Amino acid sequence: MKALVYKGPGQKSWEDVPDPVLKEPTDIIVKMITTTICGTDLHILKGDVPAVTPGRILGHEGVGTITEVGSAVTSLKVGDQVILSCISACGHCDYCKQGVFSHCLGDEGRSGIGWIFGHLIDGTQAEYVRVPYAETSVYLLPAGVTPQQGTVLSDILPTGYEIGVKYGQVKPGDVVAVIGAGPVGLAAIATAGLYGPSRIIAIDVDANRVEQAKKFGATDGVVSTDADWKDQVLALTDGLGVDVAIEAVGIPQTFTMCVDIVRPAGHVANVGVHGHPVELALQDLWISNITISMGLVNTDTLGTLLKLVAQKKIVAENFVSHTFTLDNILEAYDVFGRAAETKALKVIINA
């Protein structure tokens, strides 16, 4: 089969690789229908995720059709279309029993990390993929939800919702600021609206993305390259700052921006994947009663979000800006990697 293979920092290749095979009784093999590229894939290519070694097939999102099932799989069958969660959960380890699927202790890598696709095992940017722990790691695609919509549910919607909105404890009447209006930031904006905040402020260096964010529920937008960006944000509050600041970029500057605009007793929710240390000014934060949260998504809300997408409460297709075929995945990487120029949000890659 063909697959997108990581060759080391800054290097990738679309090439022939062996077809995946069943290794465990709980595995399935899936023929990919659609996949996508995540900002995390770009971090991997920069060398920010050293656990990803050369030769790894990238990708951790997508929808596909089951072509083989392991001997222990009883609730799934050949021909089923399924959403592949970016988090693989064995369902029976101590962390899974606590609902902390992101730190599943399953056998794949034995690392205590549930994100294994395109990280510790081969991923979804390929014609076929082996899916471990299938019955606790995939969701049947219901009628009325397209594979493209389902792919948005693999990662960005649960990540924005769980790590940004739920961990950020957004509540009715809050003023919420989301720094970074990329796909995950837009997911946080779209799902924050479910909680009835009084304002959702989208902040980004790209004026186009700030404008696009209004389609997802942002009430206001601020371009962060403006010299007075902070004053613009504070003017949209009572002058004390926002109740919840969500960081959805993954660089030190944007984390600092969140700290600069959050009000006393407010909440900073870090969603972005950071490849470098961030300075934490505890001498200023403790006296302001600031809560900081962060984490790797559990995807335990995927089923709930799937219902909301099916009922059009969340318009998943709004996230898709470009569509490619799998054979053109290198072009898709180029477009996604130059999002400021190409105006790319989520790129969908159809097999």
Residue position matching structure tokens 């006296």: 287
Domain with CATH 3.90.180.10 in the chain: 2-155+299-350
The 3-state DSSP class for residue 327 equals helix
10-45 pLDDT, tens digit each: 999 999 999 999 999 999 999 999 999 998 899 899
pLDDT of residue 107: 76
For the chain, residues with pLDDT lower than 50 are none
pLDDT of residue 109: 55
Encoded tokens for 14: 């679309």
Residue 85 sits at the vertex; the CA angle it makes with 81 and 88, to the nearest 5 degrees, is: 120
Encoded tokens for 231: 């004053």
Count CA atoms closer than 13 A to 133's CA, side-chain side.
24
Residue position matching structure tokens 């979804």: 124
CATH number of 159-294: 3.40.50.720
Query: Per CATH, the architecture of 2-155+299-350 is what?
Result: Alpha-Beta Complex (3.90)
Neighbours of 42 (CB within 10 A): 16
Domain with CATH 3.40.50.720 in the chain: 159-294
| 247, 179 Cβ separation under 8 angstroms | yes
CA distance 129 to 117: 9
pLDDT of residue 110: 58
Count CA atoms closer than 13 A to 170's CA, side-chain side.
28
pLDDT of residue 237: 95
123-161 pLDDT, tens digit each: 999 999 999 999 999 999 999 999 999 999 999 999 999
